[in-house]
Each structure stands twice: as structure tokens, then as C-alpha cells.
Structure 1
Amino acid sequence: MSTPTTERMPALYLSHGAPPLADDPVWPGELAAWSADLPRPKAILMVSAHWEEAPLAIGAVRTLPLVYDFWGFPEHYYQVRYAAPGTPVQDVPDRGLDHGAYVPLVEMYPDADIPVLQVSLPTLDPQQLLEIGRKLAPLRDEGVLIVGSGFFTHNLRALSPDGRITSVMAEFDDWGRRALDARDLDALLDFEHKAPAGRLAHPRTEHFAPLFVTLGAGEADLGAQRSVIDGFWMGLAKRSIQLG
């Protein structure tokens, strides 16, 4: 096992996929290669699209059963275990990791030996989430990997088992890539109006919202932003980025 880092950790936004991600021939390897290229974190702070609660809530700090917050999948997807250790904080609710947290972490850190703390999305307002990320940013200097977990496009009507990509998903992904490469925070913050078919790519914006926590936490490294994973999965853009 590698030693946890004493250097500043990057901030990540990843498209987490659904439980069948584990069966994809490409994506698990991309996530595993990504984590192998990162310094080993002391802990992981996860903000998932699948937990909205205000005011901001902190998840379980001891090992609890996972939250299988999905329906209609084959039984083996409900048998996944990820017994990550908790973290030493007080007065928190008893809530296990949801699939926005554990699905990618199973691929990135399969030994489940790094403490993981999940916090809720207290709002979907991009500017407020950017400010939350800015407040979390100092944790990066303590070896904490901050991860916003969503999906770069997320319209379930566009899901395509045969991989067909609609023009809406492709155009939004391309616009988002260009906005990130241009470090255009103003455009990203106003994506519902600035992006092509923004409300079709995200009929509800909870899967794009964690990006703004990541951008706030990694704002000092915005100039070093890069897409680590791109492409599409079942018709949805799986673009995932790293800052720092």
C-alpha cells in the first residue's frame, strides 16, 4: 500500500455512471488508471448528485451498508460491498454511500481502505456551490481528495443501450469542453442559458451541479484543468475532469 500524500491533492469532477458501469469493457479501466496516476489521498470528500439535503449534511462516519438508490437492475448489482472506513467527526446522520459515490470508488480504490466522507448537495444553485467548493479547498492541502460526482450530460430519455449519441448530448459535451478549456466560469455558471439545449442535456440539473463544487475547490488550479475521461456511455457524455 502506498503512503498517503503530504502534497496538495487535485479536485475531481467525475461522471459516475450507473451500477452497470462495472460491466463496461472500457470505463472501469479508465477510472482505475486515473486513480493510479493520483497521489494517494489521506481521505476522500465526496459530493454526489444523489444526495440533496439542506442545510449541508455530513454522511456516515463509520462503516455502514451502501445505499442502493436505484431500481430495476439485476440482483448482483445489489450485492456490491464497499466498506470504506469512516472519519472522526461528531454529530452526523447515519447515511451510507450512495451509488454516485461507491460506483466510481469501487473502480478507483477497490480495496476500500481510504476514509470516505460524503456531504450533501444543499442547493442546485451553481454560484452557491462554487462558494462551498471554495470553502472546502483548504482540505486539499491536508491530503483530501475532493470529488464532485455527477454526469456531464444526464437525460434518461437519451439513454441508448446500443450507444447511439443524440445531437443534444454531443453538442452539450462539446460546449462544456470548450468552456472548460477557455476557463470560462461565467458561461459554465449560466449553462442553462449559455449552452446549446442546456435543459435537454440536463432536464434537472443535479448531475451537473457537483461540477461547481469541484470548480470552487480547484479554482486556484483552473489553468491546469484537463479532461481525463471523455466519450460517451449509453448515449450520455462521461466527461470527467481534474484540476491540479
Structure 2
Amino acid sequence: MSHGGPTLPDDPVWPGELARWGAALPRPKAILTVSAHWEEAPLALGATTTVPLMYDFYGFPERYYHVRYPSPGAPELADQVRKLLRGPGKPVHDLPDRGLDHGAYVPLTQMYPEADIPVLQMSMPSLEPGELMEIGRRLAPLRDEGVLIVGSGHFTHNLRALNPANRVASFMAEFDAWGKQALESGDWDAVLDFKNKAPAALYAHPREEHFIPLAVTLGAAYDELPSHKAVIEGFWLGMSKRSVQYG
């Protein structure tokens, strides 16, 4: 899922797309989200009680720092995640005071505005695609229990290419078109090795943290990868907001 920024709710189109997506999905028992904005090793879990959000951005009007999303904590889900991911040399830490960052809460305010579904955020312990995909595969059993697993980033992400008029740089459009084709054709090796396989990868993603949450999603959906469906397409401030669903 592309998550936009704190101003996403002001867009005339994107909030409605997210709302329709949330309405079309079976209602989740809980949501487990991996955000581009939380890199921490060893792997860590955020708050399992309702704590204040993390306003991990600066320079915005004051009203964006007063947004609330008091979703219930998910202690039972946290227990399940620990059991699935802990092992020799694979600790899972707890950070009970860490609230949801904007990569987690911004899209959820539009998909599930009542904030009545338990949400748990998990860190990315690595930017290595194979490792993240394996984490996703180990989390896959949660799907059968009604947990929505979300990899939250941005399909293209270069802040130097932001454009208030939504003029799209050629390298952003080129990468988005390549990614669409790679996902639709099932070329998962190319997707995971996007830094070497994708055109203009260095320009569309100067750093990979906003694309790589997709690896967790691909791992969690490994047995259903042919069910790929693009649910949101297009550009926002010059960045691709492509978002896909499996299952």
C-alpha cells in the first residue's frame, strides 16, 4: 500500500479510493502493518495499548499534528507474531510506547475511519528482500485468522520529484509502468531485485525503504500470488500511489 503523507486526506480523489478499498475487504479481525518509516533491528513490535501517534514529519501546518487515530491495541496479535517469528538468533523486542507512525495511520484514517479495529505495527529489521519475504511467509498463517497484513510504503518515492501540480517525472512514470508489468506477469525475482532490474530504480527510489515493504506482502501472500489485483493506480504529487491486494 502506498501511504501518502499527512496531507493525503485533503486530496480530492485518494481518500475515496482508500475508503472503497476498506469497504470492499472482509472486515479484519486485526491489522498488522509494516511501515517504511520504522526500521529497527532486531525486529520490534509497537504499542499493544492505545498510545499517542508518532507525528514523524516536520514543517506542516499545526492541524496535522492534532490528528487522532485511537485504534485498540492488539496484544493477542502481538503474542501470535512473537510465536511465529521468534527463534534462535531471531529475537522480537517490544516497544510499548511507540505509537503508529504516519505510514501506518494515515491510510487507515481513510480505510477504517472509526478506528475500531486493533492495529499492531512491526518494524522492518532489514532492507534485504529475501529476509523480509521470509518474515512474510512466517506471518502467513495470520491471514487465515482474519488478520489484514499491510506492507506500507510508496510505489515510487523521491522527495526531490514532488510536484504540487502532480506533474510526473519521466523516471517515476517509467518505474511505475515497469512495476505494474512485473507484478502482473508474476516476475517476483525482478520485483525483489528491483534495484538491478527496474529502469530508473535509483531515481524512483534513491533509498529502497519505501518499496521494500512489498517483500513482506509477497511473502505473506506466497500461496496466492496469482491473485494479484491493482486496487489503486495513478500519481499523487508526482509519486505513484499504486497499491495492490492479494487474496
TM range (shorter): over 0.9
The aligned residue for residue 170 of structure 2 is 167
> How far has the Cα of 1:52 moved from its partner?
0.4
Q: Over residues 121-168 of structure 1, what are the superposed CA-to-partner deviations in whole Å (9 max), with x where a residue is unaligned?
A: 000111111111101111000110000000000000000001110110
Is the contact between residue 130 and residue 215 of structure 1 (CA under 8 Å) also seen in structure 2? yes
In structure 1, list runs of 5 or more residues that go unmatched.
1-13
1:92 to partner: Cα distance: 2.2
1:53-64 maps to which residues of 2 (within 5 A)? 53-64=40-51
- What is the CA deviation profile of residues 4-31 of structure 1, one whole-angstrom value per residue up to 9, with x for unaligned ones? xxxxxxxxxx100001101000000000
Instruction: Pick the aligned partner of 1:92 from 91, 94, 98.
Output: 94
Q: Does 1:126 align with 2:129?
A: yes
Match of residue 15 from structure 1: 2
- Paired residues for 1:82-161 under 5 Å: 82-88=69-75, 89=78, 92-93=94-95, 94-161=97-164
Equivalent pair of 1:61/1:92 in contact (CA under 8 Å): no
Amino acid at match of 1:37: A
2:60 aligned partner: 73
Q: CA deviation at 1:199?
A: 1.0
- Distance in 2 (CA, whole Å) between partners of 1:120 and 1:95 is 11
Work out the CA distance in 2 between the residues paired with 1:205 and 1:243. 22
Which of 21, 25, 28 is the aligned partner of 2:12?
Answer: 25
RMSD: 0.9
Q: Tell me which residue corresponds to 2:36.
A: 49
Amino acid at match of 1:92: D
Asked whether 1:235 is paired with 2:201, we answer no
Task: Please give the alpha-carbon distance, in whole angstroms, between the structure 2 residues aligned to 1:174 and 1:151.
Answer: 14
Structure 2 Cα separation of the partners of residues 44 and 203 of structure 1:
29
Q: Once the 2 structures are TM-superposed, how far is the Cα of residue 198 of structure 1 from its aligned partner?
A: 0.5
**Code of the aligned partner of 1:214:** T
Question: Which runs of no fewer than 5 residues in structure 2 stay unpaired?
Answer: 80-92
Q: Deviations over 1:65-114 (max 9, x none)?
A: 00000000111111100001112247721200000000000000001000
Aligned equivalents of 2:108, 2:192: Cα separation in 1? 27
Matched, 1:204 2:204: no
Structure 1 residue ranges, 4+ long, deviating more than 3 angstroms after superposition: none
Output the CA distance in 1 between the equivalents of 2:221 and 2:9: 28
Identity %: 68
1:192 is matched with: 195
